[in-house]
């Protein structure tokens, strides 16, 4: 992690409240100041958190052309180690079909038909069709995130992310990015923290 990122995070941890926070070239504001930059499912879920203030989580407006994790990091000078990419997968076994999400560090790969298939006890796992992922999550493709997904979905999160002071990931809208403390990710519904999910 870069020294500038460490300084930003130390300021965040000391203050406990976000007003304005710069990470790389991104300018984050508290979600309480910019609720229109969050997809409805994400905004509604965050509003239900009892021990977390809206001023503890931040959102930044971006150019949608750079919504992809690696593209975002390169264009906005963000350390990839604090980025998270969320992938929606479709699992099948016999006549059953279900969905899950995997959140891994930016730039990581996922062994869908090896590691993830076995973890989900499925016969086959593949990326969910684009139209289906959009319909089921009510988020924009390219910015689907782990916050506000259907409650019945299992959410697998790479263990390295929950240790980060802050993780940057999709907001549910391609025009913005969410910054959320890693410690909050492990408390999402149906979440399992998994070592080595991203490779």
Render pLDDT for 91-129 as a digit per residue (tens, 0 to 9).
999 999 999 999 999 999 999 999 999 999 999 999 999
Mean pLDDT for 173-198 is 94
Write the CA distances from 145 to 34, 52, 106, 154, integer angstroms: 18, 19, 13, 13
Bridge partners (DSSP) of residue 83 are: 168
Mean pLDDT for 161-189 is 94
Mention every residue, 6+ apart, whose C-beta is less than 8 A from residue 36: none
Q: How far apart are CA 92 and CA 12, in angstroms?
A: 42
pLDDT of 56: 81
All domains in the chain, ordered by first residue: 3-194 (3.90.960.10)
Segment 47-72, tens digit of pLDDT: 988 777 767 899 999 999 999 989 99
Q: Residues 19, 34: contact at Cβ < 8 Å?
A: no
Bridge partners (DSSP) of residue 158 are: 194
Segment 15-40, tens digit of pLDDT: 456 667 899 999 999 998 899 999 99
Closest C-alpha among 143, 189, 149, 181 to residue 162: 181
Q: Residues 116, 56: contact at Cβ < 8 Å?
A: no
pTM to 2 decimal places: 0.88
Q: Residues 167, 161: contact at Cβ < 8 Å?
A: yes
Report percent pLDDT > 90 for the chain: 78
Which of the pair, 132 or 32, is modelled with greater confidence?
132
Report percent pLDDT > 70 for the chain: 90
Tokens representing 142? 């390219």
């Amino acid at each position: 992690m870069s020294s500038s990122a460490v300084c930003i995070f130390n300021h965040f941890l000391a203050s406990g409240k976000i007003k304005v926070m710069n990470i790389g070239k991104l300018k984050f504001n508290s979600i309480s100041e910019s609720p229109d930059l969050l997809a409805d499912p994400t905004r509604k879920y965050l509003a239900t958190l009892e021990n977390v203030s809206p001023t503890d989580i931040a959102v930044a407006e971006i150019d949608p052309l750079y919504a992809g994790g690696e593209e975002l990091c390169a264009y906005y000078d963000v350390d990839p180690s604090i980025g998270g990419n969320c992938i929606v997968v479709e699992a099948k076994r016999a006549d059953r079909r279900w969905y899950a999400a995997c959140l891994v560090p930016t730039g990581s790969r996922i062994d869908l038909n090896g590691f993830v298939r076995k973890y989900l006890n499925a016969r086959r796992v593949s990326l969910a069709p684009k139209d289906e992922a959009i319909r089921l999550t009510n988020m924009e493709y390219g910015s689907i995130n782990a916050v506000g997904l259907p409650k019945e979905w299992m959410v697998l999160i790479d263990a390295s992310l929950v240790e980060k002071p802050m993780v940057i990931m999709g907001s549910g809208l391609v025009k913005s990015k969410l910054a959320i403390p890693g410690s909050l990710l492990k408390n999402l519904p149906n979440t399992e923290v998994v070592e080595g999910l991203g490779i």
